[in-house]
């Protein structure tokens, strides 16, 4: 396959577990830096590469990466709906609502039934206001929320409008609930885990997450950063 990275390409990348979105972009940027398409009018041009929507290091899945002049179009992709699959653990919480930190509190689950879980998921569908996680990149008083959180600052996060368009429970195995969610931009699945636990009169946190779609783009058509750059060696 031929590429023209200077004119611009839209790449579908499957971000591995443990990688930051920045690491994935940097891997691609380094891997294509000597590509001949960066010779413009006889002069080597510095490669421009960016992504259209961050994934946490503990999440895997679809990352849209744009190069060259296509980086100007990244906002168009950021506004598209997202589809995620993953798992919640019911009965315990963590300060960041996922596995980045240790469990800080446990809750009873004896009262929770399969019917409760299915009905609760249905109740989440629709437009709503969502409070972002304290450990997030949201800006508060000129700093990222996670910076305030690590410093022990007492801050208040403002709820933001989101919409959950689909919320399907795909499996229930003891306290582990598997799901598929379609939502609008700016939705934190970690916050859904928190709120899902509260709605069950218990607690919950996110234990795995995979972004499977962005608009019509599908992770099935994506490749890992390492697999992508291998073709240029």
Active site residues: 56
Q: Which of 215, 219, 220, 197 is nearest to 207 (CA)?
A: 197
Per-residue three-class SS string for the chain: CCCCCCCCCEEEEEECCCCCHHHHHHHHHHHHCCCHHHEECCEECCCCEEECCCCCCCEEEEEEEEEHHHHHHHHHHHCCCEEEEEEEEECEECCCCCCCCCCCEECCCCCCCHHHHHHHHHHCCEEEEECCCCCCCCEECCEEHHHHHHHCCCCCCCCEEEEEEEEEEEEEECCEEEEEEEECCCCCHHHHHHHHHHHCCCCEEEEEEEEEEECCEEHHHCECHHHHHHCCC
* CA–CA gap between residue 20 and residue 125 (Å, rounded): 29
């Amino acid at each position: 396959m031929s590429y023209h990275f200077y004119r611009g390409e839209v790449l579908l990348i499957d971000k591995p577990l443990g990688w930051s979105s920045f690491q994935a972009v940097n891997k691609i940027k380094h891997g294509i830096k000597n590509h001949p398409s960066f010779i413009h009018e006889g002069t080597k041009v510095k490669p421009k590469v960016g992504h259209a929507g961050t994934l946490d290091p503990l999440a895997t899945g679809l990352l849209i990466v744009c190069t060259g002049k296509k980086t100007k179009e990244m906002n168009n992709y950021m506004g598209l709906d997202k589809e995620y699959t993953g798992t919640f653990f019911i009965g315990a919480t963590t300060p960041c609502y996922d596995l980045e930190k240790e469990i800080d509190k446990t809750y009873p689950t004896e009262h929770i039934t399969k019917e409760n879980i299915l009905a609760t998921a249905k109740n989440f569908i629709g437009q709503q206001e969502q409070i972002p996680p304290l450990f997030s990149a949201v800006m508060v008083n000129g700093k990222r929320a996670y910076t305030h959180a690590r410093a022990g600052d007492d801050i208040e996060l403002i709820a933001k409008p989101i919409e959950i368009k689909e919320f399907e429970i795909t499996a229930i195995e003891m306290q582990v609930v598997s799901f598929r969610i379609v939502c609008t931009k700016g939705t934190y699945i970690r916050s859904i885990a928190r709120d899902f636990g509260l709605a069950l009169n218990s607690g919950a946190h996110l234990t795995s997450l995979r972004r499977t779609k962005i608009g019509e783009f599908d992770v099935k058509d994506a490749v890992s950063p390492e697999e992508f750059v291998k073709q240029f060696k």
